[in-house]
Amino acid sequence: MVWRAWGEGSPVVLLHGGSGSWTHWVRNIDTLATCHRVIAADMPGFGDSDMPPEPPTVDTLAAVIASGLDTIVRPPARYDLLGFSFGGIVGGLVAARQRDRVRRVVLIGTGGMAFPRSVLPDLVRVDAGDAEAHRENLRRLMFGDPARADDLAVAIHRDNVRRTRFKTGNVPESDVLLHALPSITARVAGIWGTRDAFAVPYLDARRETLARFQPDLDFRLVEGAGHWVIYEAPGVVNAALMDILG
């Protein structure tokens, strides 16, 4: 498994989304690294990392990541965990495993709480190397403002899709995170874009679900942003993350 690190200070671990890699966080790392040691994973089966051992499940990913963190952030040191999309589901399972190690969990555009699949727009068929098809799919699925799907976003997405081997399947629509939440003792916060195609029309329900486990939940909405909110609205998201992390 491949990890990358920047900066110094209290550790902050970044887990990317499905069909992704550490590059999902490319617009957030520099800001976070001004005050923190930022540790970004390529989760098993994504990016530069090998596939996980059998069986290739979300629980296996969490076990591998937790083991890696025991080496990178040696106990009893504690860390904060930020999970985008599928990475939030995995991060929740890691936090449930490492109850005495995780200070805060920030869930960003995360599924796994048993909400029905949103009605998603049709996607364009992508042939190998077809940058414009990738751009159109990003506009339809990942961004609230289609104009934000710039050349860098297309390059990141195209490379990440090419290297993805782990299949997330129906995990985002499952209840796997919902079952982990009662075991998480860390502070939980949430950030969602108001135009997240995977979350609308269940944004309020997500807030209510998380608040059942943490009544003083810090839950923030980024107006007009889509699913890849950490890329589309880095100024707003970075300020929110720095505030949440203290």
Give tens-digit pLDDT for 9-36.
999 999 999 999 999 999 999 999 999 9
Is residue 161 domain-resident?
no
Would you state the structure tokens that stand for residue 226, as one six-digit string?
């889509």
What's the pLDDT score for residue 151?
A: 96
CATH number (domain holding residue 68): 3.40.50.1820
* Distance, CA of 160 to CA of 118 (rounded, Å): 23
Q: Which residues contact 126 (CB under 8 A, 6 or more apart)?
A: 133, 134, 137, 161
pLDDT the model gives residue 130:
82
Looking at the domain assignment, is residue 176 inside a domain? yes
Q: Which domain holds residue 108?
A: 2-120+166-245
The answer to whether residue 26 sits within a structural domain is yes
Residue pair 171/86 in contact (Cβ under 8 Å)? The answer is yes
Residue 122: pLDDT band with limits 50, 70, 90: low
User: Which amino acid, residue 13?
Assistant: V
Token pair 């970075």 in the structure block, residue: 238
Nearest residue to 102 via CA among 112, 92, 117: 92
> Residue 155: inside a domain, yes or no?
no
Q: Which residue did the predictor score with more confidence, 121 or 243?
A: 243
Residue range 56-84, pLDDT digits in tens: 999 999 999 999 999 999 999 999 999 99
Of 194, 190, 191, 192, nearest to 224 (Cα)?
Answer: 194
Instruction: List residues bridging with 218 in a β-sheet.
Output: 189
Inform me whether the pLDDT recorded for 100 exceeds 60: yes
User: Is 133 inside a domain boundary?
Assistant: no
Total domain count, the chain: 1
As a whole number, mean pLDDT of residues 36-51 equals 98
Chain length of the chain: 246
Residue 139 lies in a domain: no
Residue 91 lies in a domain: yes
At 117, the pLDDT band (50, 70, 90 cuts) reads confident
Q: What is the pLDDT of residue 132?
A: 85
Q: Give the tens place of pLDDT for each residue, 210-226.
A: 999 999 999 999 999 99
User: DSSP per residue over the chain, as a string?
Assistant: -EEEEE--SEEEEEE--TT--GGGGTTTHHHHTTTEEEEEEE-TTSTTSPPPSSS-SHHHHHHHHHHHHHHHS-TT--EEEEEETHHHHHHHHHHHH-TTTEEEEEEES---S-PPPP-PPP-----TT-HHHHHHHHHHHT-SSGGG--HHHHHHHHHHHHH-----TTGGGSSHHHHHGGG--SEEEEEEETT-TTTTT-HHHHHHHHHHH-TT-EEEEETT--S-HHHHSHHHHHHHHHHHH-
pLDDT attached to residue 189: 99
Q: What is the pLDDT of residue 126?
A: 64
Model confidence over 131-146: pLDDT tens digits? 888 899 999 999 999 9
Question: Which pLDDT band holds residue 127 (cuts at 50, 70, 90)?
Answer: low
Model pLDDT for residues 147-205, shown as the tens digit of each residue: 999 999 999 999 999 999 999 999 999 999 999 999 999 999 999 999 999 999 999 99
